[in-house]
Chain A
Amino acid sequence: MSATKVRRLGTDSPPSRASKLLQNRWAGLAGLLVALLAPFVDATPYALSVMTSAAIAVMLAAGLNIVVGYCGLLDLGYVAFFAVGAYTSGVLATRLELPLLATVPAVIVVTVVAGIVIGAPTLRLRSDYLAIVTLGFGEIIRITANNLDVTGGPSGIYGIPHLVEGPVAFYYLTVVVVSLAVLGAARLGRSRLGRAWRFVREDEDAAEAMGVHTYRVKLAAYVAGAVWGGLAGVLFAAHLSAISPGSFTFLSSALVLMAVVLGGMGSTPGVVVGAVVISVLPEILRDLADYRFFLFGVLLIAFMLLRPQGLWPARSKEVP
């Protein structure tokens, strides 16, 4: 089992070779190939489950990267959107007996609304206030899910239907969806909007002076992040077929943030690697279970002090 993981991580080459690989699409295709071949190496239910979770984590990291990496807004309650997506599809699928796929449009609408509701009042605030407020929102969503009847209270929702039959098929579906999500996020990052996000991150006043409506641009980042998180929530609900408030604590938000920071804020290959590391490492280091979150905390500090650009940094030089 662990051998598989090590090999998977190994193929995500070290940063020294990264810049060369980045100049073409091979890095992305290689990553996809690894993900597609992984079940041939080990297809035990446990391994598949871990790999599916890792893929979902990649999608979350890609979404949070839009907010934190591109736009420079620290969101400490990102898992709120994950929860909104999972609960929306879970509630609709179980109460109205809809197929899970049919809930996706509703999930998109609800997460967009959630992104606006959370973002609109808070995005005018200073960046550090925003961090705490998003954390507060994350807790509000979780506590609300815990207290309401429609969400099943503390025990949550059971018997959520699958998207496709069988864990292997679901794994491949997840890989396809997540790949598209990662590609989409990367393409947004290279567009007019994506540049505007980076201008806001670098200097809000200068961005305004160049005609960037900073508030709207930030809201767009927030909404995009919300949709990515919400759709990942649908995959999550389908994967586990049961969801409860316990899956959406601050800890989960912090882990996604960890993945983004570890991999490299603003770097697509970086956050993919970061998310895989964060979700697979604890499986390898089972013996250290007591210390792993402590280690994550220390790593977070160490990275900010010693390597703020992450394992696989966003390129600082443009390729002509």
Chain B
Amino acid sequence: MSLLSVDDLRLSFGGLVAIDGLSFSVGEAEIVSVIGPNGAGKTSAFNCVTGFYRPTSGRITLRGRDLPGLRPSAIAGLGVARTFQNLRLFGELSVLDNVRAGSHLWLRQSVLDALLHTPRYRRSERECTEQAHHWLDFVGLRGDRYGQARALPYGEQRRTEIARALARRPDLLLLDEPAAGLNHGEKAEMLDLIRRIQALGVAIVLIEHDMGLVMEVSERVVVLNFGREIADGRPEDVRRDPAVIEAYLGGDPAVLEESAPEETVLEEQTAGQDSAGKGDSAKADSAGGDAHA
């Protein structure tokens, strides 16, 4: 049985159809990439899986358990962790505290323990801090762990966000454009990091525009265009798929070979949809709580 299975997922906002029949599955410790132009519905699909959106129709199951209708925190409780497209660290808090967030679900500590500073409190706090250090070591954070997260350089913030997700000890990790904005050397490190995460036995769903990275790490690639799934297969097959080539700039296969240049072109092409997508995160707020309450 696969770990995550998405079946005929549909999502629309009023009249706008964001996802129109998406199906894919992810096995244990498998890496699956979801690619497609901006506005194709990739992040929306992530938000459906993690409970931030409620799908209009379709099934999403984790080890056979239905996810839609659960709060994001409940889905996190089932072993799903994620990162966000535009970095959602707790900026004012220390880097360590950010990663400590990952321990929220497994840390056993009552309010009374905290008020009385019982041995259990001290033990759990120590463990929580040790774990945070461990995952920061794992992602190879170089910056100041004790300072505020927002003071870190961009690439280090990306690592911190991944460390935070890993501290959750997930079975399934959803990475939303982890390599966006990274330079060449950092991308190579990210590739290595993704492989090491997989080696821990964690399954990964990856949204990424960097085709080099996608083709390198993925076992399977799902291609979305305007909310529709147009391909699902091994990287080398998807790369030659005519429908995919068509979707990526009217049939220039070179685009799928190289990473850097086409990224900018794609963003310009779909700039309108992109800006709408960016606004989403700003609107998040507590009303997001209404949607999944």
* A interface, CB within 8 angstroms of B: 123-127, 184, 187-188, 190-196, 198-199, 202-215, 316-320
Contact = CB atoms under 8 A, between A and B. Distances in A.
A126 B104 contact: no
B152 to A, nearest CB: 13
Given A124-B290, A188-B111, A199-B90, A209 B97 contact: no
B289 interface: yes
Contacts of A202: 90-93
A207 B82 CA distance: 11
Contacts of A208: 51-52, 71-73, 76, 288-289
B115 A187 contact: yes
B117 A187 contact: yes
Contact of A317 (B94, B101, B103): B94
A188 B110 CA distance: 10
B288 A199 contact: no
Interface in B181-236: none
Given A187-B117, A192-B124, A317-B94, A211 B77 contact: yes
B109 interface: yes
Interface stretch (B30-38, B249-257, B261-269, B279-287): B279-287
Nearest to B111: A193
A125 B146 CA distance: 33
- Top 7 closest pairs, chain A to chain B, by CB: A191-B114, A211-B76, A202-B90, A211-B105, A208-B72, A206-B88, A318-B94
B285 A318 contact: no
A318 B107 CA distance: 20
B24 interface: no
Contacts of B165: 210
Nearest to B90: A202
A124 B286 contact: yes
B82 A187 contact: no
A313 B247 CA distance: 53
A14 to B, nearest CB: 23
Contact size range, B: 35 or more
A215 B292 CA distance: 11
Given A192-B124, A204-B285, A210 B81 contact: yes
Nearest to A210: B101
B101 A195 contact: yes
Contact of A320 (B72, B88, B146): B146
Contact of B107 (A184, A192, A317): A192
Given A199-B90, A205-B88, A206-B84, A212 B289 contact: no
A316 B92 contact: yes
Interface in B140-154: 145-148
Given A208-B289, A210-B76, 16 more contacts: A124-B290, A187-B114, A191-B113, A192-B104, A194-B114, A195-B97, A199-B90, A206-B84, A207-B73, A209-B72, A209-B88, A210-B102, A210-B168, A212-B73, A316-B148, A318-B97
B207 to A, nearest CB: 15
B288 A198 contact: no
B71 A126 contact: no
B286 A125 contact: yes
B200 to A, nearest CB: 18
Nearest to A125: B286
A191 B104 contact: no
Contacts of B96: 318
Contacts of B44: none
Nearest to A190: B114
Contact of B146 (A192, A205, A319): A319
B135 interface: no
Contacts of A127: 285-286
B288 A204 contact: yes
A30 B284 CA distance: 44
B158 interface: no
A212 B101 CA distance: 8
A127 B51 CA distance: 22
7 contacts: A192-B128, A205-B72, A205-B88, A209-B88, A210-B73, A210-B105, A320-B146
B72 A203 contact: no
B100 interface: yes
Given A191-B111, A209-B81, A204 B284 contact: yes
A241 B76 CA distance: 51
A210 B163 CA distance: 12
Nearest to B87: A206
Contacts of A212: 73, 101, 104
B91 A193 contact: no
Contact of B115 (A188, A211, A214): A188
A77 to B, nearest CB: 18
Most buried by B among A211, A215, A319: A211
A319 B229 CA distance: 50
B293 interface: yes
A308 B70 CA distance: 37
B121 A191 contact: yes
B93 to A, nearest CB: 6
B114 A193 contact: yes
A195 B100 contact: yes
B48 to A, nearest CB: 13
A213 B103 CA distance: 14
A205 B93 contact: no
A195 B284 CA distance: 21
Nearest to B109: A192
Contacts of A125: 286
A203 B286 CA distance: 10
B3 interface: no
A203 B88 contact: yes
A215 B288 CA distance: 11
